[in-house]
Structure 1
């Protein structure tokens, strides 16, 4: 009986050790991503008029942007696009000047819920894989990644009015 208790204690200790190791590994792997997100929130508060944060997205197309959704001092919903640049050996950092930071009132654009409704109307058979704010060809957009049943595709809709940019990238099947 004493031997059985010893093995149960060892098993419990092993499970705890494995869980702690998994948590440590996850924290290590995501530390750059977390640092980028936190830097974007700070920059959005300093330069974009953000007071509180509700959601963040990382957008990587021709340049890295973090988009932060939240509220401004007037308690209005806003989106702030924060450009990032690569620094060798470090996580991406916000661009040095504030000229690239762009803030839009959500009421002056199309929110995610409205954009999803527009997409479902225009592409009724599409399975939305992801929808996130981004920058495409210098324009603030919603970037849609979807499956049309035969291929995965990227397409872009203007943030300002939800209209299509007319650009679609179809990924090859393999």
Structure 2
């Protein structure tokens, strides 16, 4: 009986040790991502008029942007695009000057739910894999990654009016 209790205690201790190790590993692996997100939120509050944060997205196309959604001092919903630059051996950091930071009232653009409705109307058979705000060719857009049944595709819709940019990238099958 004592031997059985001993093995149960060892098994419980081993499970706890494995869970703690997995948490530490996850924290280690995501620390750069968390540091970038936190830096984007701070920069959006300092230079973009953000007061509170609702959601964040990381956009990587030709340049890294973090897009922060939240509220401004007037309690209006806003989106703030914060450009980042690569620093060798460190997480990406916000661009040094504030010229690349762009703030837009959500009411002056198309929010995520309206964008999904537009997509469903234009691409009724598309399975949306991800939809996120981004910057494409210097324009603030919604970046759509979707499956049309035969391929995965990227396409872009203007944030300002939800209109298509006319650019579509089809990924090869693998």
Do they fold alike, i.e. is TM over 0.5? yes
Partners of 1:106 and 1:140 lie apart in 2 by 12
Q: Distance in 2 between matches of 1:51 and 1:4?
A: 57
Structure 1 residue 45: Cα displacement: 0.1
Measure how far apart 1:56 and its partner are. Answer: 0.1
For the residue of structure 2 that corresponds to 1:68, the secondary structure is strand
Instruction: Please list every run of 5 or more consecutive structure 1 residues that lacks an aligned counterpart in the other structure.
Output: none
1:153 maps to 153
SS at match of 1:100: coil
Quote how far apart the aligned CAs of 1:8 are.
0.3
Deviations 1:106-164, CA, capped at 9 Å, x for gaps: 00000000000000000000000000000000000000000000000000000000000
Cα-to-partner distance string for 1:23-69 (whole Å, 9 max, x where unaligned): 00000000000000000000000000000000000000000000000
1:1-31: CA deviation from partner (whole Å, max 9, x where unpaired): 0000000000000000000000000000000
CA drift at 1:168: 0.1
Q: TM-score, normalised by structure 2?
A: 1.00
1:171 deviates by 0.2
Aligned length: 174
| Partner SS state of residue 157, structure 1 | strand
Normalized against structure 1, the TM-score is what? 1.00
Could you give the per-residue CA deviations for residues 71-108 of structure 1, whole angstroms, max 9, x where no partner exists?
A: 00000000000000000010000000000000000000
